[in-house]
């Protein structure tokens, strides 16, 4: 009985603590935000390169003093992008606040928290993280009494300014999302495509979340905001811009009426073929076929993929090599703001080798090489262009198989590929480049 009573008291206490935390006024919505790293690898820039670096001069920190001397100063180079809980990229920067007094006399109130000061050469100072699109107001206290207010808000862009202010996330790239009517406002948006309806007749439903600095609804309600687009039709609304005027704002995107799960593409190009046949080697023609059936659309990239690769010089008596693969693909990880995907490829393949052409005897083998692929969407800063590379391997004593590829592009793409097969003294190798393009979509 005592144990049950103790457990009940502990559970009740935990419940009260949980409620207290949920209702605590000191909680900051950005506490759970994740920093979006910016990593440079040679000519590649991963993450953050497509987010414009806000000009901190466009975000003045105005001091309204009650007699005390309060100074503010932005920390140069401190702008960092973070991901809010809903995945929306948001910029924030560090602001230094200086008061010519002993640190124990001063206190800063900011976003529900009390921030102490430190001693410095120019007086007491402290630094705070400021969400630039949201802004805010900080209060300075000296000896427990109000000493000043610091108001931070974006200003409207001057006419003709060339500064890039719209951070449209890479998740919006496939749909060419744009916003008209807020050219003078800093804003950020991300997208999520959701299929609606039955498989085979699914329609496209694009959700857009966005926020903008000093932009509100006519009733004063502030962002973030959401829009749902279908059938390529834009969404329109009346907003109050950063200059305080009413204006018509339009969100548009190239949203197709149908969302197809099965896509087919083909490719062709020059390859070099070498084999144990000892003849008919050298420059050859290739024919490629690619298929991708998406089982899920957004969560993990689960899909069924297939490829067909055939190489020959075209003569009926020339060596012929063919490779067919069917496999599941599944995203093992998405890192750096989902800008780098690691995908597992699990399945089986067959190879067919005709040393003296298809008119003579051919050898076939079933293989089970496993592999992976790494993809980098919006590579080199090019919207809707993906750089990817991967491999299949099956090392064995009697039968070995290797397949390496690198691909770059969008609907049209270029591919470098090398396939090598060896079994019981017979071998075939093909290496070359091909150009591919889509030709059909179903379901």
Task: Decide: 308 and 319 in contact? Cβ < 8 Å.
Answer: no
pTM, two decimals, is 0.76
**In this structure, what are the phi and psi dihedrals at residue 224, rounded to the nearest 5 degrees?**
-75, 160
- Answer for the pair 52, 129: CB distance below 8 angstroms, yes or no: no
What does the pLDDT look like over 319-355, one tens digit per residue? 899 999 999 999 988 877 777 889 999 999 999 998 8
Average pLDDT (153-164) is 74
Strand 386-394 and strand 246-252: the pairing is unpaired
Distances in whole angstroms, Cα of residue 409 to Cα of each of 135, 337, 380, 391: 39, 20, 11, 18
For residue range 363-409, what is the model confidence (pLDDT) as tens digits? 888 999 999 999 988 887 788 889 999 999 987 767 899 999 999 99
DSSP assignment string, 361-403: --EEEEE--EEEEEEETTGGG-TT-EEEEEEEEE--SSEEEEE
CA gap 48, 170 in Å, rounded:
10
- For residues 23 and 333, what is the distance between their CA atoms, to the nearest angstrom? 34
Cis peptide before 433 (omega within 30 of 0): no
Q: What was the pLDDT predicted at 299? A: 60
* 89-117 pLDDT per residue, tens: 888 999 999 999 999 999 999 998 999 99
* Topology of the domain comprising 262-442: Lipocalin (2.40.128)
Q: Domain residue spans in the chain?
A: 32-152, 166-252, 262-442
Pair type for strands 320-335 and 340-354: antiparallel
User: 3-state DSSP call for residue 47?
Assistant: coil
Residue 35: per-residue pLDDT:
66
pLDDT per residue as tens digits for the range 47-75: 544 577 788 989 999 999 877 789 999 99
- Are residues 369 and 351 in contact, defined by beta-carbon separation less than 8 angstroms? no
**Short-list 162, 169, 163, 166, CA closest to 180:** 166
User: Coil, helix or strand for 423?
Assistant: strand
């Amino acid at each position: 009985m005592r144990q049950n009573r103790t457990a009940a008291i502990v559970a009740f206490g935990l419940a009260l603590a949980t409620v207290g935390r949920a209702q605590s006024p000191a909680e900051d919505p950005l506490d759970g935000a994740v920093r979006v790293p910016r990593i440079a690898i040679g000519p590649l820039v991963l993450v953050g390169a497509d987010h414009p670096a806000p000009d901190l001069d466009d975000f003045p920190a105005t001091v309204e003093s009650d007699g005390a001397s309060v100074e503010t100063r932005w920390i140069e180079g401190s702008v960092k992008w973070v991901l809010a809980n809903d995945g929306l990229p948001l910029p924030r920067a560090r602001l230094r606040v200086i008061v010519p007094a002993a640190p124990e006399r001063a206190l800063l109130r900011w976003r529900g928290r009390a921030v102490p000061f430190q001693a410095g050469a120019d007086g007491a100072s402290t630094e705070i993280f400021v969400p630039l699109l949201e802004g805010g107001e900080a209060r300075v206290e000296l000896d427990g009494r109000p000493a000043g207010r610091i108001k931070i808000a974006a200003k409207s862009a001057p006419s003709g300014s060339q500064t890039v202010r719209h951070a449209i996330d890479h998740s919006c790239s496939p749909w060419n999302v744009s916003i008209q009517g807020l050219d003078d406002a800093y804003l950020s948006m991300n997208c999520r495509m959701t299929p609606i309806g039955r498989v085979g007749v699914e329609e496209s439903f694009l959700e857009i979340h966005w926020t903008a600095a000093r932009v509100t609804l006519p009733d004063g309600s502030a962002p973030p905001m959401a829009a749902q687009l279908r059938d390529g039709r834009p969404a329109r609304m009346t907003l109050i811009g950063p200059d305080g005027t009413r204006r018509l704002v339009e969100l548009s995107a190239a949203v197709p009426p149908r969302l197809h799960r099965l896509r087919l593409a083909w490719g062709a190009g020059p390859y070099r073929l070498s084999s144990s046949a000892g003849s008919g080697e050298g420059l050859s023609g290739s024919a490629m076929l690619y298929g991708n059936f998406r089982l899920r659309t957004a969560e993990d990239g689960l899909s069924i993929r297939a490829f067909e690769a055939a190489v020959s010089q075209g003569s009926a008596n020339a060596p012929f090599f063919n490779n067919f693969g069917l496999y599941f693909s599944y995203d093992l990880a998405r890192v750096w703001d989902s800008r780098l995907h690691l995908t597992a490829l699990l399945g089986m393949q067959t190879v067919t080798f005709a040393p003296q052409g298809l008119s003579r005897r051919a050898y076939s083998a079933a293989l089970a090489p496993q592999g992976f692929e790494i993809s980098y969407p919006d590579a080199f800063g090019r919207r809707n262009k993906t750089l990817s590379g991967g491999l299949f391997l099956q090392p064995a004593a009697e039968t070995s198989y290797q397949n390496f590829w690198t691909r770059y592009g969008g609907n049209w793409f270029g591919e470098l590929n090398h396939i090598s097969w060896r079994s019981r003294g017979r071998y075939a190798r093909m290496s070359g480049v091909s150009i591919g393009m889509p030709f059909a979509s179903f379901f």
